[in-house]
Structure 1
């Protein structure tokens, strides 16, 4: 069983000149939402080559961002702090999170209010130290036994977005541990790229890795 945790970032910065499609959800109205996000990315100064992780969505693999995209992202996300008038402690980690992919299925996407700092929650699950996952809300019910974790998507009153393709999935902890480590490596590479952009463009964002990827 191949288990992956794929780091994705949500590039969703509203622009008045680009109206939001009147109908959703994006996985059912793919064409209109794909066009919307493409126009939105251009209006926000991101490169036109960016493609979403899932057609119509705002999620993008962090490895797909160019250095120019990273610089634009930092400027948008840290706009108040860069003006010198904001409190850096109020800046949240970058929105997005981790797609749980089991075999060929994307089982769980980051949910509402999730961010790239949520990897620590996945790590605790993989270590068998916790039976609660925070990856935004709603969260799946988790049952840990026999060195495995079963993620049940039937319990919450809120609806998962997009709907999981399975009612539940059982993942060996050893495989989940490997997935966490791979995600950590990808995150370290992204952190190094952010740090370089921060220095080269004299953005002077303090403790940028902690601020945008870990959470203060």
Structure 2
């Protein structure tokens, strides 16, 4: 594993997952995994976005399929992802799926930790809990495989998770402080509310009823 000391200021960036292989018919790169071949996968992502007419959409890192949520606002692609969350009868709100999204921990130079499989916007609560409880050892639920957290006084070490044997060398152990994480959490909460409002407004294109729109948005954000 690679040890990284996070360089403040930290951000918990609200992100939305964009899976290009599920959206286009372009062949995926032969080189895998993306973390080891970032250039090939970034080229693939960009080519897919061009095919979709969304070339302004870029990932948070060359090896990632997550995009800053604020960069998706108003995009036709976001509208498609929102529609995919809805059942045929949108009034059946208990059948609405959460948006595949979450929060990427970034410092002043790079993406440090990104969400994992089965992530959503409710995962901000896990970051809040981490800062509040300050457990010596804990798991951080931001999807699976979930990171492991170790704390000593004010220092926090977040170890990327791995399922199975033979963990790759590119996995990271990120060291930071509770104070810097608290600032990142507070900022993320404010930004999330702005994104919620913007997505609720974008849902006007799909749902006319304001009350239903709010309920749908709550479900999409897993609230």
**What TM-score do you get using the length of structure 1 for normalisation?**
0.79
Is 1:37 the counterpart of 2:45? The answer is yes
Unmatched runs of 5 consecutive residues or more in structure 1: none
- From 20, 33, 46, the counterpart of 1:25: 33
Contact 2:85 2:98 in 1 (8 A): no
Cα-to-partner distance string for 1:178-210 (whole Å, 9 max, x where unaligned)? 101111111111100111111254365561332
In structure 2, the partner of 1:6 is 13
Contact 1:37 1:57 in 2 (8 A): no
Is 1:68 the counterpart of 2:75? The answer is yes
TM-superposed deviation, 1:86: 9.0
For residues 23-172 of structure 1, the aligned pairs below 5 Å read 23-42=31-50, 45=52, 47-69=54-76, 70-78=78-86, 81=87, 83-84=88-89, 88-128=93-133, 131-153=138-160, 157=164, 163-164=170-171, 166=172, 168-172=173-177
Distance in 2 (alpha carbons) for counterparts of 1:31 and 1:157: 26
In structure 1, the partner of 2:180 is 175
Contact 1:97 1:110 in 2 (8 A): yes
Cα-to-partner distance string for 1:122-180 (whole Å, 9 max, x where unaligned)? 1100112653210112222222342443223488646779934x4x3332222211101
Distance in 1 (alpha carbons) for counterparts of 2:75 and 2:98: 19
**What TM-score do you get using the length of structure 2 for normalisation?**
0.77
Contact 2:49 2:55 in 1 (8 A): yes
Q: SS of the residue aligned with 1:110?
A: coil
RMSD across aligned C-alpha pairs, in angstroms? Answer: 3.1
Higher relative contact order (CA 8 A, sep 6+): 2
Contact 1:138 1:160 in 2 (8 A): no
Distance in 1 (alpha carbons) for counterparts of 2:169 and 2:219: 28
- From 161, 186, 192, the counterpart of 2:197: 192
Unmatched runs of 5 consecutive residues or more in structure 2: 1-7
In structure 1, the partner of 2:5 is none
Q: Evaluate the alpha carbon distance shift between residue 16 and residue 143 of structure 1 in structure 2; reply closer, same or farther with a 3 A threshold.
A: closer
Distance in 2 (alpha carbons) for counterparts of 1:52 and 1:84: 32
